[in-house]
């Protein structure tokens, strides 16, 4: 069977849907309200929602740092004339 981009996207969508189902179950099973303090703001939220917000904030920080690194690498490649030597390809055949 040949792997295609659409097939890969389809698998990613299914995995994402399952992750969202698990997040929903987590939020619904943790309804206890907790006090939340952040940058001078205060309020109460259900524990599951507060932890979900924390996970989203963490993912955004990781995405921000990753984006900054990609921009840094692209600028470096552009300064070097846009020629980046790709790593050598390794044959995935039977071992001799």
Predicted pLDDT at 64: 94
Three-class SS of residue 88?
Answer: coil
Residue 55 belongs to some domain of the structure: yes
Residue 37 belongs to some domain of the structure: yes
Looking at the DSSP assignment, which residues form a beta bridge with residue 76? Answer: none
**The domain containing residue 30 runs over which residues?**
5-79
Residue 89 belongs to some domain of the structure: no
Predicted pLDDT at 95: 58
Residue 87 belongs to some domain of the structure: no
What gap in Å lies between CA 93 and CA 53, rounded to an integer?
46
Residue 93 belongs to some domain of the structure: no
Q: How many domains does the chain have?
A: 1
Please, what are the averages of pLDDT over each run of 10 residues along the chain (96 residues)? 79 91 88 89 90 90 93 87 69 62
Residue 85 belongs to some domain of the structure: no
Residue 26 belongs to some domain of the structure: yes
Residue 49 belongs to some domain of the structure: yes
Predicted pLDDT at 65: 95
């Amino acid at each position: 069977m040949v792997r295609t981009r659409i097939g890969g996207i389809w698998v990613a969508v299914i995995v994402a849907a399952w992750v969202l189902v698990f997040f929903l179950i987590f939020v619904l099973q943790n309804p206890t309200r907790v006090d939340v303090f952040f940058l001078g703001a205060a309020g109460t939220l259900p524990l599951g929602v507060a932890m979900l917000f924390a996970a989203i904030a963490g993912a955004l920080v990781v995405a921000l740092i990753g984006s900054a690194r990609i921009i840094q690498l692209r600028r470096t490649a552009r300064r070097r004339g846009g020629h980046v030597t790709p790593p050598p390809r390794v044959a995935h055949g039977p071992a001799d």
